[in-house]
Amino acid sequence: MNSSDWEKELEKVAREISAENFSAILSAEDLERLRIRFLGRKGSLTELLRSIKDLSIEERKLLAPKAQKIKSQLESQIAARIEEIEKLRFEKDINSQSLDLTLPPLSPLRGRFHPLTQMQNQMAHILGLMGFSWAEGPLIEDDEHNFTALNIPEHHSARDMLDTFYVEGSKVMRTHTSPVQIRAMRQKKPPFRIISPGRVFRHEAIDATHSAVFHQVEGLYVDKNVSFADLKGTLEEFLKALFGPEIKVRFRPSYFPFTEPSAEVDLSCLFCSGTGVGKDRHPCGICKKTGFIEILGAGMVHPNVFKAVGYDPEIWSGFAFGIGVERIAMLKWQIKDIRDFYQNDVRFLSQFKDAELPLFA
């Protein structure tokens, strides 16, 4: 096909388009059929544009803009008519419905807190009644606050305990909420008590009991003459308020670089009532027949941490503890898979009604 014939075909298609009465098309289906006729894979305008490759470069430069202009005008007419058809259909639907203004309004569905938020608020409420105030810090921390000031210098073996997401340079996604302790101690003068609830990040494989993102509530108390007995009494009262007065609490020696002495705190197993034997009379698989479940880590603040924030360890003493929100929630509500908290399944989430507690005491 030479350029003269090609141009005649283009003019023919243009006349056919002009002859169409778009305002007479009343349905999207008819409009789609018209679009396919001209712009479909085998549409007359599409095939004409496809054949332009057979023309010379000079002829294409002259005729292609004319064809593209016709195509753009057709697409604009179709889009405008679709909008008009939708508007007419909406007006028809509105006019066909009757509205009874005497009917009472529909009450909006009441939202609720996520179960992890509920658990975090319960924990914060109890600790708030015990004199702890809320403190927060950034999710992206520097090496100084996340490690060094917490008595975890570079090449310290304790860093291997924390699988870290490095952002850039010395910046990391915080591996625990302990950096908030450092920021608080550098801003406050003792005595004080704080908790630092929030998200933490560790490079871990995700399974039923591990997640790369989870939540902690960290506690810190600094004053004169604070002893390990104060730590034990605080945590026992906290755990009994959370799980019930019948539970038993056990402390075992442990190691954390930022506390000395340090302890792992165990709770009598909620699944077998501390007997080590399940309801089916078989050994309890949760506590592995011990009758206790590890619940949190705690200890007296290490003197090196006090020195890092400018406190005199000969004058001030204190204790710290850290507890996982997901772990507490899984134990209290007997949930076996941590991933249930993050899949946003409404059937799962709707089981947890908001506790009648203020957000923080």
Give per-residue pLDDT as tens, 53-92: 888 888 878 888 888 888 888 888 888 888 888 888 888 8
Element (H, E) at 128: helix 115-129
Q: What is the pLDDT of residue 354?
A: 67
Burial class, 247, CB count within 10 angstroms (exposed 0-12 / middle 13-18 / buried 19+): middle
Reported confidence tier of residue 355, pLDDT bands at 50, 70, 90: low
Beta bridge partners of 259: 256, 301
Mean pLDDT of the chain: 87
Q: How far apart are CA 142 and CA 140, in angstroms?
A: 7
Q: What is the pLDDT of residue 278?
A: 74
Q: Which residues contact 163 (CB under 8 A, 6 or more apart)?
A: 175, 202, 203, 204
Does pLDDT of 244 surpass 60?
A: yes
The dihedral through the CA atoms of 195, 199, 200, 202 has a sign that is positive
Q: What is the pLDDT of residue 163?
A: 79
**In terms of pLDDT, which residue wins out, 74 or 111?**
74
Q: How far is CA 314 from the centre of its chain?
A: 42
Angle value at C-alpha 168, between 324 and 197, nearest 5 degrees: 20
Does pLDDT of 361 surpass 50?
A: no
pTM here is 0.66
**What integer is the mean pLDDT of 171-183?**
93
31, two tokens: 């409009």
**In terms of pLDDT, which residue wins out, 99 or 246?**
246
Q: CA dist 319 to 149, 243, 261, 293, Å?
A: 16, 22, 10, 22
H helices of 140-247, in order, are: 143-146, 179-187, 228-243
**What integer is the mean pLDDT of 165-191?**
91
Q: What is the pLDDT of residue 161?
A: 64
pLDDT digits (tens, 9 = 90+) for 276-321: 887 777 888 778 888 898 999 999 999 999 999 999 999 999 999 9
**What integer is the mean pLDDT of 136-140?**
94
